[in-house]
Amino acid sequence: MASIQAFPNNPYQENTYLLYDNSGECAIIDPGMYTAAEQNAVVNFITQHQLKPVLLLNTHCHIDHILGNKFVFDQYGLKPQFHEGELVVMQATPVWAQQSGIRYELSPLPEVYLPETGSISFGNTTLELIFAPGHSPAHLCFYDKADNLLIGGDVLFRGSIGRYDLPGGNQAQLLKNIEEKLFILPQDCTVYPGHGPETTIGYERETNPFF
């Protein structure tokens, strides 16, 4: 049985997630920690719950989702894992940071890239990979079938969808991926998005204004 903890971080109010189970191992997903206080909140939670971070995952590589990659690497020795198609996004981040006036410490590069399909495991938890580009060129979602939860990044939000006007974005592709890959998940599957509150697949199927 996995548990999840969200930490809204950085000027974009991005959700950093810790996913952990009774093995004590945890995955850090989309670390957006920007300030010392944000870094401390995550580290303190890990320490208090006696967790062992073993995976650093990025759904995609927009700046708000990777701001904490370097910190996690320094703290726990973990290099990020994401789909290779997001490298182009990561490589553009220093320029984006400069233009936005945001301090960005260079993320380490992956030793392991994630495929479009398959799964990744830690402790007693298995995450199925769902390839859902459209917000960014090679966006992945992580589906924990046993616990009926989806860490969805910036694909599907409560009452909305990810923006598609950034480089590599594509509205038609995004809508198609949500319909064909996310809306087929169980209706009561809880979606933990990259921004804002959680929702469910069923709620979005019925009420999301984009569909």
pLDDT of residue 164: 97
Domain boundaries, the chain: 3-207
Are the C-beta atoms of residues 134 and 175 closer than 8 Å to each other?
yes
pLDDT of residue 101: 95
Residue at token pair 């708000």? 64
- The C-alpha atoms of residue 177 and residue 142 are separated, in whole angstroms, by 14
pLDDT of residue 83: 98
pLDDT of residue 175: 98
Give the pTM.
0.98
Instruction: DSSP letter for 136, please.
Output: S
- The C-alpha atoms of residue 87 and residue 110 are separated, in whole angstroms, by 10
**Fold annotation for 3-207:** Metallo-beta-lactamase; Chain A (3.60.15)
211 residues of the chain, pLDDT tens digit each = 999 999 999 999 999 999 999 999 999 999 999 999 999 999 999 999 999 999 999 999 999 999 999 999 999 999 999 999 999 999 999 999 999 999 999 999 999 999 999 999 999 999 999 999 999 999 999 999 999 999 999 999 999 999 999 999 999 999 999 999 999 999 999 999 999 999 999 999 999 999 9
Chain center to CA of 57? 7
pLDDT of residue 192: 99
